[in-house]
Structure 1
Amino acid sequence: MTGITVLHQSATIGGLQDQGTPARPLTQPPCRLRGIDVELAGAGGNDSGVWECEPGRFERQLPNAEVMHILAGVGTFTPTGEEPLKIRAGDTLFFPANTTGEWHVQETVRKVFVVMAM
């Protein structure tokens, strides 16, 4: 057995688990988060999986570097002190460690992510 995990059709896969709301929501009610965490042997403590966020706004609080590929949805990310970046399905983002800013999700966003261990 190879230990390979396959999430078929991850853009539409069901079974995402409720993950509550963002730590710093900027809209009320706060947007809901769902996801599937995927344990990856040999990843050295990096976290990975599929994550989804309903429409709303919140502050990014994650100090870790992150790579994400947007599977579905539309939104913007505005890095602190910079211009907004338009984000949509098909985009891949590379966030350096300590990237702060504001997410504004207009259409439910679903992404595949890898969060780097610090």
Structure 2
Amino acid sequence: MKVQKLAQPAAIKVLEPWGTVAGLEGASTVQLSGLQKVIPGKEDIDTGIFACSAGSYRRSVKQAEIMHFLDGNGSFTPDGEETLTFTPGDTFFFAADTEGTWVMETPMRKLYVIFDAS
């Protein structure tokens, strides 16, 4: 199938538990969940829905990423750069090897595509 539809991703109630990530010093552990979609023939592209609880943690993704926020409020501060805030409807584009700090003021949900940009 050349086209896959992800109907109403903001309204999907059940996501798979993806574990936790340690919060920054003094912050609580952040709960992760999601729904991964596989593109036949392009299994090296990671795409789907990602959600997490409120909290803060370091970004660990090494590939390029495009994300569109469906729910939540917060910010991302790339190392050595200014803080970018997000609300539902915003889209971020990350170059490969972008490191920095996430701060989710409320639980966050996004659509994402992670890919090798080399």
TM-score, normalization: structure 2? 0.90
Match of 1:98 in 2: 97
Q: Give the aligned CA root-mean-square deviation in angstroms.
A: 1.6
Aligned 8 A contact 2:27 2:56 in 1? no
Rounded Cα–Cα distance in structure 2 between residues aligned with 1:112 and 1:36:
10
Q: Which runs of 5+ in 2 are unaligned?
A: none
Give the residue type in structure 2 aligned to 1:49: G
1:107 positional shift? 1.1
Q: Deviations over 1:57-97 (max 9, x none)?
A: 00001111000110111010000011110111001110000
Residue deviations 1:3-24, cap 9 Å, x none? Answer: 53322210120120111112x5
Secondary structure of the corresponding residue to residue 9 of structure 1: coil
CA distance in 2, matches of 1:17, 1:44: 19
Q: Which residue of 1 aligns with 2:54?
A: 55
Runs (5+) with no aligned partner, structure 1 = none
Distance in 1 of aligned mates of 2:14 and 2:62 = 28
Task: For 1:29, give the aligned amino acid.
Answer: S
Q: Is the 8 A contact 1:7 1:13 kept in 2?
A: no
Aligned pairs, number? 116
How much has 1:44 moved relative to structure 2? 5.4
